[in-house]
Amino acid sequence: MKLTRKCAICKEDCRKEEMIQYTSYSGKTSHWLCRDCYTQKINREAFSNKVCQIFQIKTPGPRIWADRKKIQEKYGYTDQIIIDCLDYLYKVQNTKILSESLCLVTPTNVEKMLQYKKTQLAKAQLLAAAANQEIKEHIVPIKEIEERKKEILNPDDFLDE
C-alpha cells in the first residue's frame, strides 16, 4: 500500500497524513492538496469571491488576474491589501466602477486606505475604552414628602355667616 500521494497542483509526493482533501465551492470533484497549495487555493478563492462581490460579476476575468499578479510582483501587496483597497475605493469613497480591473490599487490609494483603517481602529478603541470605563454613581438623597393633612371644610359653616 502506497504511503504517499501526489498534490493536484504542485505534483509533489507527500505523506497521506499531510495531505488535505479539498473541493471548491463550485467544484464537484475533490482533490488532494499539500498544505502550501491548500492555503494558496483558499486565498485565491477568497480573493476571487471578494472581487466578484465588489464588481458584481460571476468570475474574475483574465485582466483581474493579470493585474493581481503585476501588483503583487511590483509592490508586494497581499490579496487582503488589494481587497481592502478596493473596498475603500468603491464603498467608502464611492468611486464609480468604470472597468473591472485593479488599476486603482496604487501606492497612493493604499496609503489612503491604511490611514482610513488606522482612524477607524482608533475610533473603535476609544469607543471600547469608553464602554469599559467604570461609571461612578452619585446617589442623590430624596426628601420624603410628608403627607399633608387635609383640611375638612363643613359647608354648613359658610351658610351661617
- Per residue in 2-18, pLDDT (tens digit) is 788 899 999 999 898 88
Task: Select from 144, 63, 48, 76 the least CA-distant residue to 103.
Answer: 63
Beta bridge partners of 14: 5
Task: Select from 10, 41, 50 the least CA-distant residue to 23.
Answer: 41
User: How many CB atoms neighbour CB 153 within 10 A?
Assistant: 8
- Mean pLDDT confidence for 103-125: 95
CA end-to-end distance (rounded Å), the chain: 125
Helix (H, G, I), strand (E, B) or coil at 32: strand
pLDDT at residue number 134: 84
Question: Helices (DSSP H) in the chain: which residue ranges?
Answer: 35-55, 62-74, 79-87, 107-132, 155-159
Residue 40, class by beta-carbon neighbours within 10 Å (0-12 exposed, 13-18 middle, 19+ buried)?
A: middle
Task: Select from 55, 56, 45, 50 the least CA-distant residue to 23.
Answer: 45
pLDDT digits (tens, 9 = 90+) for 70-87: 999 999 999 999 999 999
* Residue 1 pLDDT class (50, 70, 90 cuts): low
- Mean pLDDT confidence for 129-150: 84
33 touches 20 (CB < 8 A) = yes
Task: Select from 61, 39, 36 the least CA-distant residue to 48.
Answer: 61
